[in-house]
Structure 1
Amino acid sequence: MNYSAFCFSVFGYSQKKGTKKSVTIKPKTEFVAELMAKMTLDEKIGQLNLPTSGDITTGAANSSDVAKNIEEGKVGGLFNIKSVEKIKEVQKIAVEKSRLKIPLLFGMDVIHGYETTFPIPLGLSCTWDMKLIERSAQIAAQEASADGINWTFSPMVDISRDPRWGRVSEGSGEDAFLGSQIAKAMVKGYQQDDLSKNNSILSCVKHFALYGASEAGRDYNTVDMSRIKMYNDYFPPYKAAVDAGAGSVMASFNEIDGIPATGNKWLMTEVLRNEWGFKGFVVTDYTGIPEMIAHGMGDLQTVSALALNAGVEMDMVGEGFLTTLKKSLEENKVSIEEIDNAVRLILNAKYDLGLFQDPYKYCDVKRAKNEVFTSANRLEARKIASQSLVLLKNEKQVLPLKKSGTIAVIGPLADAKENMAGTWSVATNMDKSISLIAGIIEVAGNETNVLYAKGSNLDYDASFEEKATMFGKTLHRDDRTAAALLAEALKIANQSDVIVAALGESAEMSGESSSRTNLQIPQAQKDLLQALVKTGKPVVLVLFTGRPLVLVQENETVPAILNTWFAGSEAGSAIADVLFGDENPSGKLTTTFPRSAGQIPIYYSHKNTGRPLGNTEGKFEKFKSNYIDERNEPLFPFGFGLSYTTFDYSNLKLSSDKMKFDGKISASVDITNTGNYDGKEVVQLYTRDLVGSVTRPLKELKGFQKITLKKGEKKTVTFEISVEDLKFYNSDLEFVAEPGLFEVYIGTSSDAEKKVSFELNK
């Protein structure tokens, strides 16, 4: 809805009685201009201040330190405050006690669900289903808005090709094309193309920009890359989110071209606003402005002015704007026009959310009771989670399990409901999450005997486990010796028909400030797993992880591996649905799994060298681009994922072997379900530009379709290719397609070998 086109009757609030009264709101531009004309400089700067909720508690909001600043007009919004009752109390201070009664924004890290939690974003991306991803964001917005939240710091769209970086768990993987589709779906799910609805919330695209390429995979670290790489490989998802109408953008912590993103005018103004036409506001990340001091950019006043001049409108927690902008204005280090522009953009967002119409729009207690963590939402979360799981190996069809006999469920992640939601699940009620053991008992039924043993702790090192189980995500470390834990596990393993080993990372081993150099399963668990394998019983590794791991030993010794990521509040039930075949796994990897950490960065869309290894992969060849001690190829490629059934690809063809710049051609392939189960397949189309004015990747994802095939069914899948699919940024940063020969691959992963060719002509 476009508010700026008309006036309408709305409800305001009486300062004395808190009762509704009918008022008239003018069109947005006029309304905001008139409001700004009444504001003092201090009140304007106050709108740019975003503190955390601090000491606010229900019933004590008026006496908090933050309340005093709100009354004085020194706060534009708050974040990390949960519950509609608290939020209503605080909003009441803003609209009934401050001079101009400007309502507050209330933000929260609603990253992959609210109380109903969905798979971590990396897992969610593995569904390759944009409708499901959009729906997850829509449910998250519904629940968050019902509980008073009107702004989410999501989606995180950073491309990352380095699994050492813990925040790879928050993104959608390594590919710009897929990441762009997911970015659009998430923004639409949160905002629903209509912020006037009381169940839609403002999205915030982060982290702008390039955060996923931090050196050495170490969080908050430097990023240094060419602009052609930025535009082709890292920028597209941010731009896609902006094009989808995202209302806000968050600056990243890293530097770009030697200037931190928070103070980078080329990034925030030239690219984001002038090139992409972004109309919303930019907020810093947590203390992003004062952190530029440590970068070596100057004192607090200097870096605050740098951020405002760059095009940043809101200061999260740093209070640099609040405490220094007035002085900088007096010293002509910033202009009143820049301050006014920032204020205008923030007030515009509040107007678009309908907060001037009704500041208590998101404070309906009935909604909070009836729309949060509902049975319907949990059921959808369970279905979505089941489609995020990726079957990496299934030798001799160990899976699906039978709902009979004896199953030994062993491992430190088996009875760990606090960890099921994964990292950045701040609103999750961990006590209500479904553990793996609980899910298996539920789904297996009465004819199955389920035994349990912990088997080992997360790691031999207790101090490491403490760092990896923060924020209440304990694994309840067992004080028994490793030998005693193992003996108990082997006892029940020998009584079983099949062993389910629940191993991997704890929830907080990935996420922010959880970078790792060793990407293997912790040694305590590796030792447990190999002991279980030696029993001779079939072993299913249920792998919990927030990143690609190095699984060479596991892949060589364990007959079945199901990668479950962290599947959300309904994780245990969803995993059990797949283990027992009630759901056929259909997830596909959106990140490459390396054989060794030494291969990193490793990703499918790499470029050739002048001395490529060619067709001798796996064999060392001197003076070729390869390692002495490792193969070049990954353990599991981008796009990979097995099913309980099998799919045959045949009859790949193009509608024409030539295409004009103003024309289109289609590529088609026949897919047949040749196995014994109904299933879903993600059909993936890749192209290769064989000759270019700059070097081009060996393959680029340009299309995908998730289809359902019944046992024995055959379908023809068709993709349309236009010149837009063939464009890239050249050395002059022009978005162009160049005439020449192109190869088209269609297959079940990025390793697709079936190909056809066409020529693009002007």
Structure 2
Amino acid sequence: MDVYSIKPKKERKFTVRNWILGTAGFIFLVFVIVFWVAPTIRSRSNFGLLGVEAPVIQVDGVKFRDLNKNGLLDVYEDSRQPVERRVDDLLGQMSLDEKAGMMYIPLVAMNKDGSYGEMPDLTNPLTLVHHTNSETVARLRINHLLLYDYAPPSAIARWNDNIQKMAERTRLGIPVTIGANSLNMAVDYPGSNIYMGSVSHWPFPIGMAAARDTALMRTFGEMARQEYLAMGIRLNLNPLADLATEPRWGKVNSTFGEDAVLSAQLVRAYIQGFQGDSVCVNSVACMVKHFPGGGPLENGEDSHFPYGKFQVYPGGQFDYHLIPFKAAFAVNVSRVMPYYSIPQEKGFQKVGFAFNKSIISGLLQERLGFKGIVCTDWNLIEQQKVLGVMPLDPPKSWGVEGLTDLEKTRMIIDAGCDQFGGEDSPELIVELVKKKMISEERINISVRKLLREKFKLGLFDNPYVSDYSKTDQTVGQKRFVEAGKVAQRKSLVLLKNGLMSGQRILPIRKRLKVYSENIDRAQLAKYGEVTENLEDADLAILKLDAPFEPRNKYLLELYYRQGSLAYSGDERGRLIKIMRTKPTVLCMFLDRPAVIPEIVKESRGFIAQFGIEDGPLLDVVFGVHKPTGKLPFEMPASLEAVEQQKEDTPYDSEQPLFPFGFGLSYEPNSISQK
């Protein structure tokens, strides 16, 4: 009896154990297939589509690359020929598939050693969404790439050369244009830039607006251009010519503020620094955005999200927002990116800007005469999915959500756009042409523009970096780093300088005991005695982020600071308690205007910063340098004042806490405005 009762129990345990082991083994097998076997097979298949590297041929003592490997010097391979002749020759040799691939610029990954990004990487979730390098270049025939996975500079340069070698092995050897987005910011700010520790570091654009120095702006462009070139990056998805007339918008930090004239001056200088007077072999091409000005969003809600799809002009200021774009066109900016929003303005279609023929063809190309490349913002067409299964945020096809992917693609091309940002489906363009929904002649118009830019950049003649030691010598060189620190200091705006022991609290001249938050202790120790105990301190220095409202309904919301401009009650109370305990200097990162009247009142000193490292900040706090910056936007006095503002109108906040252009210096009673 006892034996029979025990035996089935042992069998049951054995069965459960086997089931667990079998399940684990099955999961492991699936993992290996998905993350190693299948990608390896696909990669080998993609590389199998490629031919040989381009031979070098010599004509009249000059060496050329035989990109189409026919043993002859074609016109497009001959650097002595005019650009338009080279474009005509290559366009005549391209297949429809190759033309379609030219019209896409997706995100791609790389390995940290500069090798191809061919395998899914769980530490980099975007590799689970986007195609591999070989799939993109060899199979889809795409030759514009946006790099989002940054590595050491020499590794990026090596990856560029690897990608260019892959492209050289395609049928016509068309080189790749590699783009990047905001590499030189002083702090990491997901959604706006990807921080690179090795480059020179500068304040965010809003900080350059606070510095009010167009010569410094051009210097930034020239220095950053050299760093980009040393890594093989030839396209910069900047500057933002949007105006920050709506303080709640989550991209204020990337603009040059709310004044159109100041923004126009800085946009012009930025582009001239990167491109020169026109695009050439020493240029990094610029893409000005977001046409026709992405700032006046309804209630400040960003149009990356369904709840922010409308752009409004209650103050009738539509043309005011065009002023910085006109400045960009005047200095021959290579590209324009329209935003996602639907304009709530008479005379324009009620669809997103990239779908909007009245905006792209009518306003941009006909009325304003822009002849360059129009590239859409990211992910307008397809629903992105992780491993092709798990859907992410919806495509931002506002106003045309009910159309098929094919119909959306047609509408964008018909509107006048030349390239699709963040998409990688050239088969849709091929289908449109084969079904006679779009003519191949229309496709040729866009491809011609894209080829022209590549030829002007010199990519057909030499797309390689080659000398990686020069990359390391150029990127982050001392002269560039020091210039960036100068800009960081010049961007600081002194907003309040109250009394401490009968004297202005700033600059701090004595070596005091200092309690701090978010400041490097080693840097601070150069100027004072650091203490972690507030009660023991002589004063407090708080480096803070401006308030925002965390959201998590959509994946991208994790990277955007949106919503309320005021601190929560708990945080506001915590800060006020510190300031009532010890004299306090606030150093706040104003990525957007903040509504903080109670906090300003309780502080002894208040410095606005716009993305700065601790060293340059402390240099100003302790008087090594003086603050000279001026506010690039208003600081509203209340949330009610914000709600009563018109989204499209500058400096219209009632009785602002600090007006546009406000800035103190360390001299007694010295205030400069506008």
Provide the TM-score with structure 2 as the length reference: 0.75
- Measure, in 2, the Cα distance between the counterparts of 1:213 and 1:642: 29
Task: Tell me by how many angstroms 1:577 deviates.
Answer: 1.1
SS at structure 2 position matched to 1:212: coil
What residue in structure 2 maps to residue 169 of structure 1?
253
What residue in structure 2 maps to residue 729 of structure 1?
none
Instruction: Give aligned pairs, total.
Output: 549
What residue in structure 2 maps to residue 126 of structure 1?
210
Structure 2 CA distance for partners of 1:194 and 1:376, relative to 1, 3 Å = same
What residue in structure 2 maps to residue 387 of structure 1?
490
What residue in structure 1 maps to residue 584 of structure 2?
539
Structure 2 CA distance for partners of 1:607 and 1:587, relative to 1, 3 Å = closer
Structure 2 CA distance for partners of 1:205 and 1:542, relative to 1, 3 Å = same
Considering fraction of residues, name the structure with more helix: 2
| Superposed counterparts of 1:710-725, under 5 Å | none
Task: Tell me by how many angstroms 1:16 deviates.
Answer: 12
Is 1:250 equivalent to 2:356 in the alignment? no
Task: Tell me by how many angstroms 1:10 deviates.
Answer: 7.2
Is 1:304 equivalent to 2:304 in the alignment? no
String of CA shifts for 1:302-338, please: whole Å, max 9, x gaps: 1101111111111122235x12122222333212121
The match for 2:427 among 294, 317, 323 is 323
Task: Tell me by how many angstroms 1:565 deviates.
Answer: 2.3
Task: Tell me by how many angstroms 1:593 deviates.
Answer: 0.7
Task: Tell me by how many angstroms 1:517 deviates.
Answer: 2.8
- Measure, in 2, the Cα distance between the counterparts of 1:552 and 1:641: 17
Structure 2 CA distance for partners of 1:15 and 1:301, relative to 1, 3 Å = closer
- Measure, in 2, the Cα distance between the counterparts of 1:496 and 1:526: 21
String of CA shifts for 1:365-424, please: whole Å, max 9, x gaps: 13311011122221111111001011110013534344433232322x22xxxxxxxxxx
What residue in structure 2 maps to residue 556 of structure 1?
601
- Measure, in 1, the Cα distance between the counterparts of 2:340 and 2:315: 21
Structure 2 CA distance for partners of 1:296 and 1:608, relative to 1, 3 Å = closer
SS at structure 2 position matched to 1:90: helix
Task: Tell me by how many angstroms 1:354 deviates.
Answer: 0.8
What residue in structure 2 maps to residue 473 of structure 1?
none
- Measure, in 1, the Cα distance between the counterparts of 2:323 and 2:289: 13
Task: Tell me by how many angstroms 1:15 deviates.
Answer: 6.9
Task: Tell me by how many angstroms 1:228 deviates.
Answer: 8.9
Task: Tell me by how many angstroms 1:524 deviates.
Answer: 4.6
The match for 1:219 among 293, 302, 315 is 302
| Superposed counterparts of 1:38-187, under 5 Å | 38-54=93-109, 58=113, 60-61=115-116, 65-72=132-139, 74-80=141-147, 82=150, 83-95=156-168, 97-110=169-182, 112-113=184-185, 115-187=199-271
What residue in structure 2 maps to residue 407 of structure 1?
513
Structure 2 CA distance for partners of 1:592 and 1:605, relative to 1, 3 Å = farther
What residue in structure 2 maps to residue 516 of structure 1?
562
Task: Tell me by how many angstroms 1:267 deviates.
Answer: 1.6
- Measure, in 2, the Cα distance between the counterparts of 1:59 and 1:292: 32
What residue in structure 1 maps to residue 529 of structure 2?
449
SS at structure 2 position matched to 1:159: coil
The letter for the 1-side match of 2:496 is: K
Task: Tell me by how many angstroms 1:188 deviates.
Answer: 0.8
Task: Tell me by how many angstroms 1:226 deviates.
Answer: 5.1
- Measure, in 1, the Cα distance between the counterparts of 2:355 and 2:375: 12
Identity across matched positions, percent: 26
SS at structure 2 position matched to 1:190: helix
What residue in structure 1 maps to residue 37 of structure 2?
none
Is 1:498 equivalent to 2:498 in the alignment? no
Task: Tell me by how many angstroms 1:231 deviates.
Answer: 4.4
The match for 1:336 among 411, 415, 440 is 440
- Measure, in 2, the Cα distance between the counterparts of 1:9 and 1:182: 45
- Measure, in 1, the Cα distance between the counterparts of 2:176 and 2:274: 19
Considering fraction of residues, name the structure with more strand: 1
- Checking the alignment, whether the CA contact within 8 Å between 1:48 and 1:315 is kept in structure 2 is yes
Aligned CA RMSD, in angstroms, stands at 3.1
String of CA shifts for 1:565-619, please: whole Å, max 9, x gaps: 212xxx111111110111110111111111112222648996999xxxxxxxxxx
Task: Tell me by how many angstroms 1:252 deviates.
Answer: 0.8
Structure 2 CA distance for partners of 1:14 and 1:33, relative to 1, 3 Å = closer
Higher relative CO (CA 8 A, sep ≥ 6), structure 1 or 2?
A: 2
What residue in structure 2 maps to residue 617 of structure 1?
none
- Measure, in 2, the Cα distance between the counterparts of 1:509 and 1:640: 29
- Measure, in 2, the Cα distance between the counterparts of 1:165 and 1:605: 12
Structure 2 CA distance for partners of 1:112 and 1:347, relative to 1, 3 Å = same
- Measure, in 2, the Cα distance between the counterparts of 1:107 and 1:218: 27
What residue in structure 2 maps to residue 193 of structure 1?
277
What residue in structure 2 maps to residue 471 of structure 1?
none
- Measure, in 1, the Cα distance between the counterparts of 2:320 and 2:60: 45
Task: Tell me by how many angstroms 1:279 deviates.
Answer: 2.4
- Measure, in 2, the Cα distance between the counterparts of 1:634 and 1:8: 70
The letter for the 2-side match of 1:154 is: N
Unpaired runs of 5+ residues, structure 1, are: 1-6, 415-434, 454-491, 610-630, 648-674, 676-680, 682-747, 751-762
| Superposed counterparts of 1:623-638, under 5 Å | 632-638=654-660
Is 1:28 equivalent to 2:83 in the alignment? yes
Is 1:592 equivalent to 2:665 in the alignment? no
- Measure, in 2, the Cα distance between the counterparts of 1:333 and 1:227: 38
- Measure, in 1, the Cα distance between the counterparts of 2:88 and 2:67: 23
- Measure, in 2, the Cα distance between the counterparts of 1:186 and 1:57: 30
The letter for the 1-side match of 2:437 is: K
Structure 2 CA distance for partners of 1:386 and 1:293, relative to 1, 3 Å = closer
- Checking the alignment, whether the CA contact within 8 Å between 2:279 and 2:453 is kept in structure 1 is no
SS at structure 2 position matched to 1:561: strand
Task: Tell me by how many angstroms 1:57 deviates.
Answer: 6.2
Task: Tell me by how many angstroms 1:529 deviates.
Answer: 2.4
- Measure, in 1, the Cα distance between the counterparts of 2:550 and 2:476: 26
Structure 2 CA distance for partners of 1:399 and 1:134, relative to 1, 3 Å = farther
Task: Tell me by how many angstroms 1:640 deviates.
Answer: 0.7
- Checking the alignment, whether the CA contact within 8 Å between 1:8 and 1:26 is kept in structure 2 is no
Unpaired runs of 5+ residues, structure 2, are: 1-58, 120-131, 151-155, 186-195, 383-394
- Measure, in 2, the Cα distance between the counterparts of 1:643 and 1:227: 37
Provide the TM-score with structure 1 as the length reference: 0.67
Structure 2 CA distance for partners of 1:508 and 1:366, relative to 1, 3 Å = farther
What residue in structure 2 maps to residue 724 of structure 1?
none
Structure 2 CA distance for partners of 1:384 and 1:519, relative to 1, 3 Å = same
Task: Tell me by how many angstroms 1:514 deviates.
Answer: 2.1
The letter for the 2-side match of 1:449 is: E
String of CA shifts for 1:731-754, please: whole Å, max 9, x gaps: xxxxxxxxxxxxxxxxx325xxxx
Is 1:573 equivalent to 2:573 in the alignment? no
SS at structure 2 position matched to 1:541: strand
Structure 2 CA distance for partners of 1:541 and 1:328, relative to 1, 3 Å = same
